[in-house]
Amino acid sequence: MNIRANHPPTAEMQATDAAHHLHPFTHGDALNAKGTRVITRAEGVTLTDSDGKQYLDGMAGLWCVNIGYGRNELADVAARQMRDLPYYNTFFQTAHPPVIALAKRLAELMPEGLNHTFFAGSGSEANDTNLRLVRSYWAAKGKPEKRIFISRKNAYHGSSMGSASLGGMQAMHGQGGLPIPDIVHIDQPYWYGEGGDTDPAEFGLQRARLLEEEIARLGEENVAAFIAEPIQGAGGVIVPPETYWPEIQRICDAHDILLIADEVICGFGRTGNWFGSETYAIRPDIMTIAKGLSSGYAPIGGSVVSDEVAETINAMGEFYHGYTYSGHPVAAAVALENLRILEEDGIVDHARDVAAPYLAEKWAQLADHPIVGEARCKGMLAAVELTPDKSARAPFSTPVGQVGLRTRETCFENGLVMRNVRDSMIVSPPLILTRGDIDTLIDRAVKSLDETHAWLKAEGLMTAG
């Protein structure tokens, strides 16, 4: 590799990292025993590490680098904004040009009726905003007892106290005294894992109707909102049966509750449309956005709310809520430039018309692999479920996640970033992937699955085939 080093030697950085850096969602001792992987550069869809090894980034960072790496326009916009106005707040009856322009641009892009954005620094913060905003909304409407949020098991809505409580990750709830009160979780529309012999369409209806049962149990007068990701991301790319969302929408319409679509992953082209709400014909009252909003080039998130919610909040007096970096000028300018590129370069169109159909075609072929129990795909999101016995959709006898983690490491060795969730493997690549990139992704995935299969056989862990 002929790459100019922009960093100290790998071993030195690993030692320093182990000494001083606490990593998110990581077992520290296990990481420090082997040393962190240090990513130093990226261009297009390719990452380079500190040893010069290159990887196809099948995860677009963390589901966010929708336009790909190395777009200098964003760097230029950020530098210009830092010179003009690096920071100013939006609290003191003040604003600045980038945040005003971004709020307008979002209103243009959003589904009808979502015309007002409350900005945050991340998706977690935006969902915390939703908790306070929705409860304040109902209080302002004279219904302060409408406080309960209904969410779903295995949902991911962020890592702060509020957003992790909204989420349904049991391992997260086990640490730090979560969930906070007045948040309940219903079962998810995860057919492969929980559908058994039920037909997927019927299963989708059953899981949607749990919402109506929960509203009845709690009393409609106590329920504030239902929050869900159009497609669950961190939970394992759980693509709901087509029957699920129409029934959820019917239930939300029939009862006096708000519908919050958490589009932190699904937004900005990921599902082949600008928003997952378009893909599934969802009409949310509030949409959570982050990640692809700036393609990860700057931290920014937001809650986009309906005219009715905005009018109520605006009329109620002061909303005692906000972040120092709500509508940060550099992040807002970068987001605006990202949205321009997504549109003017036709990246959302490319995802819908070229990349997603080709990925779907190639990904479906993985279903024939001896350790794949299901291969599912929607837009630029895809997952394979690993199993020792295809016909039974059986789990491995090893602790959950062990085979997945091993496969993830094998993928890294083979030059592919593919993440595991439990014992499934998922991708959420940059939307700019070409057909050639998709061929490379699939080749490396198959090679990695073959190696995992060989290991499983050698260890006697295959129960069929």
Ligand X SMILES: *Cc1c(COP(=O)(O)O)cnc(C)c1O
Site of interaction with ligand X (CB under 6 A): 63, 122-124, 127, 156-158, 229, 233-234, 262, 264-265, 290-291, 301
Nearer to ligand X, 157 or 185 (CB): 157
**Distance, first Cα to last Cα, the chain:** 41
Indicate the residue among 158 and 415 with the shorter CB distance to ligand X.
158
In the bound state with ligand X, the residue whose beta carbon lies nearer, of 270 and 376, is 270
Q: How far is the CB of 122 from ligand X (least distance, A)?
A: 3
Q: Which is nearer to ligand X, 168 or 415 (CB)?
A: 168
The least CB distance from residue 330 to ligand X, in Å, is 17
Whole-number minimum distance, CB 230 to ligand X, in Å? 9
Quote the least distance from Cβ 209 to ligand X, whole Å: 23
Minimum CB distance to ligand X smaller for 156 or for 396: 156
CB of 186 to ligand X, least distance (A): 17
Q: Tell me how far, at minimum, the Cβ of 234 lies from ligand X, in Å.
A: 5
Query: What are the Cα distances from residue 433, in Å, to 48, 278, 359?
Result: 17, 22, 9
CB of 9 to ligand X, least distance (A): 31
Closest CB to ligand X among residues 58, 158: 158
Q: Which residue is nearest to ligand X (CB)?
A: 123
When the beta carbons of 50 and 288 are compared against ligand X, the nearer one is: 288
